[in-house]
Amino acid sequence: MAIDLQALYPKLIHLMLDTVFVVDKDNQIIFVSDACNSLLGYLPHELMGTLITHYMHPDDLAATRDSIVRVMNGKPHVDFRNRYIRKDGATVHILWSARWYEEEGVRVGVARNVTALMQAEEELRYLAHHDSLTKLTNRALFYDRLALGLSTAHRYQSNLALLFLDLNDFKGINDVYGHAVGDRVLCTVARRLEGCVRETDTVARMGGDEFTVLLTDIKSAHAVTEKVEQILTVMNAPLGAEFGDVRMPSCSIGVACYPTDGEDADTLLSHADSHMYQVKRRGR
């Protein structure tokens, strides 16, 4: 029995999980496969006869038009990503493979929903630069921020300060109340520290119960002293009732200022760390 492949092709196209678009030279949709309902929330007849540019995310429109010009100049684009707006208003990330067919006068594009992939990639990028518990900047990103801060301070002859903070006797909380409670205390510390700084500053968890704060564009040494006093005041506030009888641990803060205490990251970190231990010993 001979199979009529010409008759079968449209059925195969509608079985595809990816969406097939056929668009004319004026960006008008003249065909779209059934998968468009899953991708954009529209039925095929709702899209046909409309402009495909109407559904593009406005922030991606310029880059998408550049891709269209490339395709219509005979250069297939098989790895282009952009965003579209679904019928329900949600944003969908799409990976495209597109080609212009001069003889037929149409552009054919195959669209794959990569929203979940983009979200996973974004999450991986976030985890690579942030502490998984407190969501603060991690050690690696903090070093990058410090290096950038030093470069800026050197260029504009400005000052910056590095604070090294350690919780006193934090181990006792873990030993008596358990690590789950200790983790909640660390998250509370993180939020309190974030509340003490500007958006241009950086708070990081270096590991364990050690935190750093990078203060940029410092106007005076007095401003650093005031910031340390503010942090100590905030940190000395009792924990909420949900912590029961757990007491907020006190903290020791070491300070290093650029350029007085060093002109490179390692020197400043070493100075702040050493100063922190001096403060801790005096407290004891």
Q: What pLDDT, on a 0 to 100 scale, did the predictor assign at position 261?
A: 92
CATH of the domain at 100: 3.30.450.20
Residues 77 and 147 in one domain: no
User: What string of pLDDT tens digits covers the 284 residues of the chain?
Assistant: 566 666 677 778 888 899 999 999 999 999 999 999 999 999 999 999 999 999 999 999 999 999 999 999 989 888 899 999 999 999 999 999 999 999 999 999 999 999 999 999 999 999 999 999 999 999 999 999 999 999 999 999 999 999 999 999 899 999 999 999 999 999 999 999 999 999 999 999 999 999 999 999 888 888 999 999 999 999 999 998 899 999 999 999 999 999 999 999 999 999 999 999 999 888 65
My answer on whether 113 and 211 are in the same domain is no
Of the candidates 43, 76, 267, 63, the residue with the CA atom closest to the CA atom of residue 164: 267
- 81, 100, 119 - which closes a domain: 119
Query: What pLDDT shows up at residue 14?
Result: 85
> Quick one: 174 and 278 in the same domain?
yes
pLDDT at 220: 86
| Pair (158, 96) in one structural domain | no
Residue 124 falls inside a structural domain: no
Residues 163, 264: one domain? yes
The gap from C-alpha 117 to its chain's centroid, in whole angstroms, comes to 15
The pLDDT of residue 48: 94
Residue 125 lies inside a defined structural domain of this protein:
no
If asked whether residues 150 and 71 sit together in one domain, one would say: no
- The reply to whether 113 and 157 lie within a common domain is no
Give the pLDDT score at 256.
95
Query: How is residue 129 written in tokens?
Result: 């630069």
Please name the residues in contact with 152: beta carbons below 8 A apart, sequence gap of 6 or more. 158, 216
Instruction: Give yes or no: residues 143 and 260 share one domain.
Output: yes
The number of folded domains in the chain is 2
Instruction: Name the amino acid, one letter, at 25.
Output: K
* Domain contains 76: yes
Last residue of a domain, one of 95, 119, 143: 119
Q: Are residues 74 and 166 in the same domain?
A: no
**Within a domain: 197:** yes
Residues 270 and 146 in one domain: yes
Beta carbons within 10 angstroms of residue 276's beta carbon = 22
Note whether 136 and 156 are same-domain residues.
yes
**Domain CATH number, residue 186:** 3.30.70.270
Count of positions (residues) in the chain:
284
Residues in contact with 24: Cβ distance below 8 Å, sequence separation at least 6, in sequence order: 30, 105, 106, 107
Other CB atoms within 10 A of residue 38 CB = 12
Query: Is the same domain home to 74 and 161?
Result: no
Q: What is the per-residue DSSP string for the chain?
A: ----HHHHHHHHHHH-SSEEEEEETTSBEEEE-TTHHHHHS--HHHHTTSBGGGGB-GGGHHHHHHHHHHHHTT--EEEEEEEEE-TTS-EEEEEEEEEEETTTTEEEEEEEE-HHHHHHHHHHHHHHHB-TTT--B-HHHHHHHHHHHHHHHHHHT-EEEEEEEEETTHHHHHHHH-HHHHHHHHHHHHHHHHTTS-TTSEEEEEETTEEEEEEEEE--HHHHHHHHHHHHHHHTSPPPGGGTTPPPPPEEEEEEEETTT-SSHHHHHHHHHHHHHHHHHHH-
Residue 89 backbone dihedrals phi, psi, to 5 degrees = 95, -10
Q: Which of 119, 145, 175 is the last residue of a domain?
A: 119
- Is 222 domain-assigned? yes
CA 145 to chain CA mean position, Å: 15
Predicted pLDDT at 264: 92
14 domain residue, yes or no: yes
230 token code pair:
């503010």
Catalytic residues: 209
Domain range enclosing 190: 130-283
In a domain, 243, yes or no: yes
